[in-house]
Amino acid sequence: MFTGSLVALVTPFKNNAVDEAAFQALVAWHVSQGTHGIVPCGTTGESPTLSHAEHKRVVELAIEAAGGRIPVIAGTGSNSTSEAIELTRHAKMAGADAALVVTPYYNKPTQEGLYQHFKAIHDEAELPIIIYNIPGRSVVDMSVATMGRLARLPNIVGVKDATANLQRPLDVRREIGADFCQLSGEDATIVAFLAQGGVGCISVTANVAPALCAELHNAWRAGDYQTVFRVRDLLGPLHNAMFLETNPAPAKYAVSLLGRCENSVRLPLVTVTDDTKIKVKAAMTQLGLLG
């Protein structure tokens, strides 16, 4: 259903408000660069510090700018089930192609709690749902068995796997089947993830090098492994640079160097240090992204 390079899109700010023009220009740029899908209002989009009104507006802006040319998977997760239902219903109404719903953070639900949370959203929202499993941020890890239970519901269609456990996609494939859409949430392991049964990546690095990220996935689908490995090796230093400090601060700085947004994040995040700026700039220069 969803494959290839899907960008976990940053949310540009200007005077601490959403820069709507810059955001829609970013979406249009990604379409032109060959990105296979847009994912607004995820972690990289600073969803924790967007108000509900801003969150909904950003989803609407993404759908409008994409214009049906590539899919939009709206981040709609929350650690409040009722809030996640509200945001997912809005995404459906706005015309999103799917919702990305994170496992509830801070609450630390049991596996049964995880199942009931996602089932409630599924039953109320009538939109394809991709589970976002990211134990490093949410402190809970959805088991393969729980994911298998959820996959029996017709609109639970896939997972964004940010566990960095390369055994996981094999286990999920055996438990659920090849039709379950497995997307990596870890840029640095994407080729290995694809080899283990994945079909794409919701990518931070694609904010900065969308054409190269798309080229890697296009080459994988074509069986052109020489190109896959060449692009993988080229992107390695940039993947590392994107996580020198807390995401999305390095990505925001990198996109600002491309002249596509201001280098601005919302507290409690802060802009990257001078040392990180040097390393991000060097990685981009090495790839030919900066003159």
Catalytic residues: 132, 160
Helix or strand run (H / E) with residue 271: none
Backbone angles phi, psi at 161, to 5 degrees: -100, 110
Of 80, 82, 75, the C-alpha closest to 101 is 75
Which tokens belong to 87? Answer: 């945001």
> How many residues make up the chain in this entry?
291
Q: Which residues pair with 129 in a beta bridge?
A: 99, 156
Give the position of tokens 């809005």.
90
Give the position of tokens 């941020």.
137
Q: How are the residues of the chain apportioned to helix, strand and coil, as percentages rounded to the nearest 5?
A: 50, 15, 35
Pairing between β-strand 200-203 and β-strand 13-14 as defined by DSSP bridges: unpaired
C-alpha to C-alpha distance for 239 and 31, rounded to whole angstroms: 21
